[in-house]
Amino acid sequence: MYLHPLFANVPPAERAALIKCSELRSYRRSETVMAAQEWTDRIFCVTSGLLRVVEHGSDPSGDVTTDFIRRNDFFLGPTLREDRYMARQTLVAALPSSAYLVPIPAARKLCEAYPEVAMGMFEYAATRIRSLRSQLRKISALSSEDLVSRVLHQLTQLAPASTGGFDKRITQAVIASYTGLSREVVNKIMRDMESRGLVWRDEHAIHVPADFASTDIGGLQASGPETDEFQGGARTEANS
Amino acid sequence: MYLNTLVSVLPPADRATLVKASELRSYRRNETVLAVDEWTDRFYCVGSGLLRVVEHGRGNGGDVTTEFIRRDDFFLGSSFTKDRHQATQTLIAALPSSVYLIPIAAMRKLCERHPQLSLALLDIAMKRVGVMRGQLRRVSALSSEDLVGRVLHQLTQLAPAKTGGYDKRITQSVIASYSGLSREVVNKTMRDMENRGLVHRDDHGVHVRADFVTTDFDLPLAEPGFGGAGAASLQPCS
């Protein structure tokens, strides 16, 4: 049990100690994992399910989902150099999820003892920046329909269903909040896609055609930046 | 975060090595610092001026400025594990700028010996993540007018003119590309603001009324990580 592939090369005794001081928690769908303005001394490492990061405006209608944290992804505070931080965003379970809550001092100690852990954390943050850039571009430049297509495709990777496609418990409200579109617009576009046979449902999933991935690819990344988050060869060994 | 602050976690000898391996380069306004698909083995730390990061779409229409990199802030690129990588964005000088080019390999070697350096880099990256989440929210949720108001206010901090306001060399097309609006909408919004006396110009700057900043602040703090330099943003010229 690694807690996270990033810790794979940490000696077993220290890995066990890290797990022991961390707390494994489960969350129901739509449950708040951490509320904005709450103080915490933990970082979050998702072991199953999917969390979403919600940035708040001055009134609730301005709330926006900025990114998703999936299995083997972290939600970090602004720094590991201080023991606690005040959350600027709210973290909500988009699906039933479980996460390790790792005390920041313990994470920092490992970073200090094992440089590759610290560098891995930084690499993780760089990956997150890359996907935020890509999302910013999509929101700014794409038509509503292209944007919804891209997001539906992203969801097949973030929240895969056992039968293919994405988990149908991801609501249109969540999709709206992530695309910056109204629920009405998202509903209309998805209904339109269904009636054109592009999108279809079964008991578990909403299925999306593969070519949704190729709508307006940014830069070089033919598979889109969302496909390569944390795949440095470590993902496959997760939870072993 | 200043280059000096970053390397201050290092012993003097290592600090000197890193500074020696780095190169200081100057760029004219609109000059490309790094083009998408170009190979690079450097991190970029802005010594003066302002850079912008451009994410490309298919064709010319989809280009978007995702962030600004101001003095003492970093462009870290997309990989740290390899000595060199192909840029996934274009980096352009929004104003005349000078930039330190720091070899990734040298930085990584130091990180292997000094985990504090990695933690400092992580701080820089997480600050950037915070800024980008804020910008994502504003682009998604604000009306065109509120968004332009917020961006103009941001520019007074990112590109301050000596007479106050922001440097008037920042064009409306740059503002459009950062706010995800068309140039026409930005032009119309700014003209409207000028007519209402909210915005005015002099020889150097475009001045923005201070109460712009009350438009829809991010919670919980008034933009703590704004502009990417965090606490340092309060003393940009120190």
| Average pLDDT of adjacent 10-residue blocks, chain A of 240 residues | 82 93 97 96 96 89 92 93 95 97 96 92 92 94 94 95 93 96 96 94 92 57 38 34
Are B77 and B20 in the same domain? yes
Shortest alpha-carbon distance between residue B127 and chain A (Å): 6
Q: Do B141 and A57 touch (CB under 8 A)?
A: yes
* Structural domain includes residue B168: yes
Shortest alpha-carbon distance between residue B34 and chain A (Å): 13
Provide long-range contacts, Cβ within 8 A and 24+ apart, for B62-65.
Answer: B62/A137, B62/A141, B62/A142, B62/A216, B62/A218, B63/A137, B63/A141, B63/B177, B64/A136, B64/A137, B64/A140, B64/A141, B64/B177, B64/B178, B64/B180, B65/B174, B65/B177, B65/B178
* Structural domain includes residue A166: yes
Range of the domain at B111: 3-131
Listed residues A74, A105, A135: the one ending a domain: A135
Chain A residues within 8 A of B121 when measuring between CB atoms = 122
* Structural domain includes residue B78: yes
Are B90 and B176 in the same domain? no
Q: Do B127 and A78 touch (CB under 8 A)?
A: yes
What is the structure's pLDDT at B232? 33
* Structural domain includes residue B187: yes
Neighbours of B122 (CB within 10 A): 24
Residue of A110, A133, A183, A226 to mutate for B, most B C-beta atoms under 10 A: A133
Residue of A54, A140, A178, A214 to mutate for B, most B C-beta atoms under 10 A: A140
What is the structure's pLDDT at B62? 80
Could you list the beta-strand ranges (E) of A35-73. Answer: 39-40, 42-48, 50-55, 64-70
Scanning every residue of chain A, which has its alpha carbon at the shortest distance from the alpha carbon of B87?
Answer: A220
* Structural domain includes residue A182: yes
Scanning every residue of chain B, which has its alpha carbon at the shortest distance from the alpha carbon of A80?
Answer: B119
Q: Do A121 and B122 touch (CB under 8 A)?
A: yes
Are B83 and B174 in the same domain? no
* Structural domain includes residue A74: yes
Pairing mode, if any, of strands B85-86 and B39-40? antiparallel
Give the whole-number percent of chain A exceeding pLDDT 70: 88
Chain B residues within 8 A of A223 when measuring between CB atoms = none
Question: How far apart are the C-alpha atoms of A144 and A141, rounded to whole Å?
Answer: 9
Average pLDDT by stretches of 10, chain B with 238 residues: 74 89 96 96 94 85 90 84 91 96 92 91 93 94 92 94 93 95 96 93 89 52 36 32
* Structural domain includes residue B154: yes
Q: Do A78 and B126 touch (CB under 8 A)?
A: yes
Are B27 and B125 in the same domain? yes
Q: What is the DSSP letter of A230?
A: T
Question: How far apart are the C-alpha atoms of A144 and B177, rounded to whole Å?
Answer: 18
Are B72 and B111 in the same domain? yes
Q: Do B136 and A64 touch (CB under 8 A)?
A: yes
Chain B residues within 8 A of A116 when measuring between CB atoms = 112
Question: How far apart are the C-alpha atoms of B153 and B227, rounded to whole Å?
Answer: 11
Residue A32: give its domain's CATH number: 2.60.120.10
Pairing mode, if any, of strands A32-34 and A90-93? antiparallel
Question: How far apart are the C-alpha atoms of A175 and A157, rounded to whole Å?
Answer: 14
Are A124 and A163 in the same domain? no
Span A78-135, pLDDT tens digits:
999 999 999 999 999 999 999 999 999 999 999 999 999 999 999 999 999 999 999 9
Minimum-distance CB partner of A134 among B55, B114, B127: B55
Chain B residues within 8 A of A231 when measuring between CB atoms = none
Question: How far apart are the C-alpha atoms of A226 and A14, rounded to whole Å?
Answer: 32
Neighbours of B75 (CB within 10 A): 24
How many structural domains compose chain B? 2
Are A101 and A156 in the same domain? no
Question: How far apart are the C-alpha atoms of A212 and A207, rounded to whole Å?
Answer: 11
Are B114 and B203 in the same domain? no
Shortest alpha-carbon distance between residue A91 and chain B (Å): 13
Strand order in the sheet with B64-70: B32-34, B90-93, B50-55, B64-70
Helix (H) or strand (E) run with residue A101 in it: strand A97-103
- Of B230, B177, B68, B127, give the one whose Cα is nearest residue A128: B127
Chain A residues within 8 A of B130 when measuring between CB atoms = 78, 88
What is the structure's pLDDT at A223? 38
Question: How far apart are the C-alpha atoms of A96 and A18, rounded to whole Å?
Answer: 24
Are A26 and A124 in the same domain? yes
How many structural domains compose chain A? 2
* Structural domain includes residue B235: no
Question: How far apart are the C-alpha atoms of A185 and A176, rounded to whole Å?
Answer: 8
Chain A residues within 8 A of B175 when measuring between CB atoms = none
* Structural domain includes residue B224: no
Q: Do A62 and B142 touch (CB under 8 A)?
A: yes
Question: How far apart are the C-alpha atoms of A128 and A136, rounded to whole Å?
Answer: 12
Residue B67: give its domain's CATH number: 2.60.120.10
What is the structure's pLDDT at B9? 85
* Structural domain includes residue A225: no
Scanning every residue of chain A, which has its alpha carbon at the shortest distance from the alpha carbon of B59?
Answer: A216
* Structural domain includes residue A126: yes
ipTM of the complex: 0.88
Range of the domain at A169: 143-215
Neighbours of A210 (CB within 10 A): 8
Neighbours of A203 (CB within 10 A): 7
Are B18 and B100 in the same domain? yes
